[in-house]
Amino acid sequence: MRTQVAIIGGGPSGLLLAQLLQRRGIDSIVLERKTKDYVLARIRAGVLEQGLAGLLEEAGCADRLHAEGFSHDGTLIAYGDEMFRIDFKEHTGTPVIVYGQTEVTRDLYEAREKAGGPIVFNVEDVVIHGADTNTPHVTYTVDGTTQRIDCDFIAGCDGFHGVSRKTIPADLRREYEKVYPFGWLGILSETPPVSHELIYSNTPRGFALASMRNENLCRYYIQCSVDDNIKDWSDDAFWDEFKKRLPADMAAKLVTGPSIEKSIAPLRSFVTEPMRWGRLFLCGDAAHIVPPTGAKGLNTAASDVHYLYNGLREFYETGSADGIDAYSANALSRVWKAERFSWWFSSLMHRYPDQSDFDQRMQIAELEFLRSNKAAQKAMAENYVGLPY
């Protein structure tokens, strides 16, 4: 087979890139190692920056987002029984949109299929060849048969465990990582949200987050030990602990119910540099991971797509390689700012095993400063709604 851009990874970043390129008449083939149903079953983020919403509009995939998404003009931050609000509209003029990543992926699959864009599922043994030449190609197997795609460029959108990052020689890669000493236990429940806006809560018992997907679907989290076993957390145990980490007035309003999904996610910050090697470009989790605090994972992947799509578009439409040559530097500049925000917000809201009394008082002082200082609120709001591309 022959295509212009081979895209490894059929998650939202790979699909979004494919759809944007398709709208510009640039051919691509998407390779995904799992099934479509498996990809759609992943429970992921649900807060979208306006930059991502704009890319979905450009890709022709935003109708359901605008019809069903919830615009949030702020967020709530609690510590103990104290709570205050960061007003996004006041400080930035911009809201965020609550719309599940699963729904984003579903919309992108529908658009890809409607456009007749090829997606190959259940691929195995993916190997990238000649990425440092002008004639790269990708080989893979499906049902035991080896296939080959010749292409101009390769977009590695295959996540942290994918083949793309590892294709860049180890002596040319530099990786930065911070592993956090806790995880997030999350449940999905068909219950009305305890609050219209998200609640981030710092308590002596640990962090909690009250999030939502729609008017009758909530995603709630509590900080837990990385060694916890999901089997040891019954629904009743989760709800009991979650209530203790909300302000009393919110806990009194909480509607509980059976979980329809429950999982524990470890937290890490990770960045690899560079994000380009020859004609191979890393995108999203293949190049970087952020803690979920502040909802930057999908949104940072979207900013990668923005820079890569525009670089490729410029190359095919004008012959200029300036955009693709600047891709890694431009993407990493924004990635590191998102990493900083997620690291800062995680450090502010969680309890660490080695925290001293002094450290905890510093957290409270930082929260009270944020509560009372408009400049600090503006800085947080600007980062939360998304820095410009």
- Catalytic site positions: 72, 200, 292, 296, 384
Contact 149, 137 (CB under 8 A): yes
Given a contact cutoff of 8 angstroms between Cβ atoms, the answer to whether 85 and 380 are in contact is no
Which one, of 39, 15, 45, lies nearest residue 342 by Cα? 45
Q: Where are the beta strands (DSSP E) in 27-156?
A: 28-31, 47-48, 70-72, 74-79, 82-87, 96-98, 119-120, 124-129, 137-142, 145-150, 153-156
CA gap 280, 328 in Å, rounded: 11
* Alpha-carbon torsion angle 192, 41, 153, 335, nearest 10: 40
Alpha helices per DSSP H over 62-220:
63-68, 88-92, 101-115, 163-167
CA distance 301 to 110: 20
Spatial contact of 52 and 302, defined as CB atoms under 8 Å apart: yes
Contact between 197 and 74 under an 8 Å Cβ cutoff? The reply is yes
Residue type, 382: E
With b meaning 16 or more CB within 10 Å and e meaning fewer, what string describes 292-309? bbbbbbbbbbbbbbbbbb
Could you give the CA distance from residue 6 to residue 28 in angstroms, rounded to a whole number?
6
| Cα–Cα–Cα angle for 372, 211, 93, rounded to 5 degrees | 50
Residues in contact with 204: Cβ distance below 8 Å, sequence separation at least 6, in sequence order? 80, 351, 360
d(CA 60, CA 340): 32
